[in-house]
Amino acid sequence: MTFSEREISANRDYFAAKMAAEKTQHSVAQWAAGKPDSGDFLLLDVRDRIVFAQGHIQGALSVPLPELKTFMAQLPKDTEIVTYCAHHY
């Protein structure tokens, strides 16, 4: 079975994105555990402020999703930004 250049490129892009996401997830877990050298990024909690106040990852910045567009200009341009949220039903 042979693959076209487009299929090869699509697979390469998919796995590159998957590896980056897993690396980020691992870095956040290490950072949350207080492990040194776990990555240089800004952890952004986009949940509601009340939920944030009830519990969050230490060091995370609270910017609720509805406020994000207004706050974006204040975010650093040279730092990776990792967001997290949760839905409560």
Strand partners, 62: 45
10-residue stretch averages of pLDDT, the chain, 89 residues long: 88 82 76 72 90 89 93 89 74
What's 32's domain CATH number? 3.40.250
pLDDT of residue 89: 45
Residue 72 has, within 13 A of its CA and on its CB side, a CA count of 5
- Return the sign of the alpha-carbon dihedral for residues 10, 18, 39, 47: positive
pTM of the complete model: 0.65
Please give the DSSP secondary-structure letter assigned to residue 21.
H
Q: Is residue 31 part of a domain?
A: yes
pLDDT of residue 41: 82
Report how many domains make up the chain: 1
**CA pair distance 2, 67, nearest whole angstrom:** 49
What range defines the domain where residue 58 resides? Answer: 5-84
pLDDT of residue 38: 64
pLDDT of residue 36: 59
Q: Is residue 89 part of a domain?
A: no
